[in-house]
Amino acid sequence: MSVFPIPTPSGILRRRFQGSNTLSGRCLEAPMPDLVENAYAKINLTLDVTGKRPDGYHTIRSVFQSITLCDRLTLLSGPEGEIRVASDRPRLSCGRDNTVHRAAEAFFRAAGIQNPGVFLLLEKRIPWQAGLGGGSADAASALRLLNRRFSFPLSGAELSEVGLNIGADVPFCLTNGTMLAEGIGERLTRLPPLSACHILLCKPAAGIGTKEAYRALDRDGTFGDRFTEPMLGALRGGDLTEIAKYAGNVFEPLALLPEIPQIKTRMLKSGAAAACMTGTGSAVFGLFERIGQAQTCAKDLSGIYPEVFLCEPYSSC
């Protein structure tokens, strides 16, 4: 099984970042502890698409749940006036299209602060094109880091407004926990926390692009609220078996990857209370009451699929 322990800041900085994302091969001094942030992934316990606005954005009702799988972002001083992003993943673009870079630019603009120069070092663990909100989580962690570094010039509401211009999931990633998301994902309502459980994630080698998934949905025309409303009542009850009945995702039948039903079947046969694709895919999560069953399933899946993670629900509250 792929095991990705949360790295320490010194672990990040002992390595040299190589390739196009380098910091010129420099070894950097360790940052202050309060200048490191975890960027937590999320799963969609439910995901319904209720319609499409005239501007092309889709409206959703979804129960978001943050989980302990995370990237880690470290803030250091950089060359005056510059924003530089580096990552331990050579394939990851660290230019102005990166969500961390975009978040830093947006923060300085919104806060009215002259950029003194920042390095943002990103340790990636959340898979790409998985439906786990990795890019949004990274942007949110950058906004939190910079807001703390510059003595909180922006309120929580102002940070959320800045984040929404980067991605619809960023406002949720700024707060974490269990939430009902409506609108395009920006209207958030705190919900009772998910019952204690173990969450097994498995991502096939192939990913699914968000735009591609929404185009398929537009062709299919499957709009409505099938899963989310009953899930709200189940969460209030707090029983994992009841919660599991309503886990569902409108995109799952449209995802033309044979691995997704195969992973779900293996999880359910191993004792998962529920198994479901998250976001627009391609990662699948299973909710397990018993850690032993989750570990056994993780071992089974890791012999077949490249990225398998065992984690738990997370809340910063």
Domains of the chain: 9-190 (3.30.230.10), 198-311 (3.30.70.890)
Residues contacting residue 64 through CB under 8 Å, at least 6 positions apart: 42, 43, 44, 45, 169, 172, 178, 179, 180, 181, 188
Buried b (16+ CB within 10 A) or exposed e, 21-57: bebeeeebebbeeebbbbbbbbbbbbbbbbeeeeeee
pLDDT of residue 92: 84
Backbone angles phi, psi at 211, to 5 degrees: -60, -40
In the 8-state DSSP scheme, what is residue 250? T
pLDDT of residue 27: 37
Query: On the CB side of 84, how many CA atoms lie within 13 Å of its CA?
Result: 18
CA 169, CA 32: separation in Å to the nearest integer?
Answer: 28
pLDDT of residue 300: 97
C-alpha distances (whole Å) from 153 to each of 34, 38, 112, 121, 168 are 17, 21, 9, 23, 22
Catalytic one of 48, 88, 138, 169 = 169
Q: What is the pLDDT along the chain (317 residues), one digit of tens a residue?
A: 443 333 344 444 434 343 334 443 333 444 444 599 999 999 999 999 999 999 989 999 999 999 999 999 999 998 999 999 999 988 888 988 899 999 999 999 999 999 999 999 999 999 999 999 999 999 999 999 999 999 999 999 999 999 999 999 999 999 999 999 999 999 999 999 999 999 999 999 998 888 888 988 888 887 889 999 999 999 999 999 999 999 999 999 988 799 999 999 999 999 999 999 999 989 999 999 999 999 999 999 999 999 999 999 998 86
pLDDT of residue 17: 44
Residue type, 105: E
| 169: annotated active-site residue | yes
- The alpha carbon of 121 is separated from its chain's Cα centroid by a whole number of angstroms, namely 18
CA 61, CA 46: separation in Å to the nearest integer?
Answer: 8
pLDDT of residue 255: 85
Residue type, 71: D
Rg (CA), the chain: 19
Whether pTM > 0.85 for this model: the answer is yes
| 48: annotated active-site residue | no
End-to-end CA distance of the chain: 31
